[in-house]
Amino acid sequence: MMFKRSAAMKLPKHSVDTLVGRGTRIDGDVIFSGGLHIDGEVSGNVRMEAGAPAFLMVSEHGRIDGSVEVAHVVLNGAVTGDVLACERVELGPLARINGNVHYGVIEMSPGAQINGKLIHQPPEAPQPQNTATPTVDGQ
C-alpha cells in the first residue's frame, strides 16, 4: 500500500487532440498544441507551440527519432534524442530514452531506461518588478 495512489490522488485528465496511429510514420518536425498521442513513428523533432498548453503521450508502440520539447510528457515508447519537459516527465516500464532528460518533475516506473543525463530544471521564479519611478538628478 505504500506506493499505491489513493482515490484522492487522481492525475489530471488530458484530452487528445491529435493521434498518430500505429503504422503511421511522419518524416519531419511536429509542432502542436493541446494533446498529442503517438502510437506510430516520428522522424523529426516534436515540440509544443510557443505559449500554448501541451501534453504528449507516446505508447509502447510509439517511437520518436528526434528531440522532444513539451511541457508534460508521458512516455512508454522510445525516444532517440533529448527530452525537455519544463513541467513533468512520466516514464512507464517500457520507456526507452537515448538522450538527456531535462525535467521539472520526473516519475519513473521500474523497467524504464535512460541512456543519458538527468538534468533537473525547476520552473523559473518570477522576477521582481521594479515599480519605483526612476528619478533624474535628485528630482
* pLDDT tens digits in sequence order for the chain, 139 residues long: 444 444 333 334 568 889 999 999 999 999 999 999 999 999 999 999 998 889 999 999 999 999 999 999 999 999 999 999 999 999 999 999 999 999 999 999 999 999 999 999 987 644 555 555 555 555 5
Distance CA(76)–CA(95), nearest Å, equals: 4
Domain boundaries, the chain: 18-120
For residue 26, the cross-strand partners are 42
**pLDDT score recorded for residue 139:** 55
What is the residue type of 128? Answer: P
Distance CA(41)–CA(79), nearest Å, equals: 10
CB 64 within 8 A of CB 82: no
User: How much is the pTM?
Assistant: 0.78
